[in-house]
Structure 1
Amino acid sequence: MKKSQKRVGFIVLVVILAGTMTTLIDVHGATSFYGNVKDDFDDPVIGASIILADCYFTILDYDTTDGSGDYSFSVTLNGNSPYFLSAGKEGYDSDTKVVTSGEYNFELEIAEKIAVFFW
């Protein structure tokens, strides 16, 4: 490999790592998450699962939406990590957001299903 190719490869690696490092979120202590989940017709999605996970896909906390599509929970976060909040329910496409704390609302689209009938 030529010296110029090594230099370009190193620069690309540094840029990738620098971009990855900027996604780290410094969150420590008790943090609250709350919000609402609706479908694409603006109706509440009752019984949707809300899951908070870290960058290692460790589930830190979860909740289920109530009759109004609302959820809320508090969790203690310790460290620099991207945190992900996901909403999903069977029959809907799920959604995930990178979060720190506070209010996060979701709009889930009804999953397209294809029915095949044989006679």
Structure 2
Amino acid sequence: MKSISVQVQPERSPGIDIARLTDLFAELVSRVDLVRQHAFHSGEDGGAYFNFTFGTEQPGELWRTIFELIYEAPEHKVHMAVASMAVCSGESGWDTYVQLFHWNPLVPVVSAAELQKSI
């Protein structure tokens, strides 16, 4: 199974609504066609972070859904652009992964269409 992980660093974007983001990520759990398992974690490591991880057999479709629901939502778009990163890891975990999104536009990312071929 592949995993998509989104990390949000709220200190990078004052005013970000972490409670609402958490609710939106939690809504995805009910998508049994896309999500096989999930884990949400938070902590401190030089600043607060929130990790939202989903196990899936359909990483391209799940990433498209996350992007449309959260990254393109008017109330979250600006915040996610500067405070988040997303990766997809392969069957062998972190030995193979691709970057899906990064707050730093210089970090190369793959599209949902490329994701199916990349991992």
TM over 0.5: no
Relative to its length, the structure with more strand (as a share) is 1
Give the number of the structure whose alpha-carbon radius of gyration is greater.
1
Q: What TM-score results when the alignment is normalised by the length of structure 2?
A: 0.32
Q: Looking at secondary structure, tell me which structure has more helix per residue.
A: 2
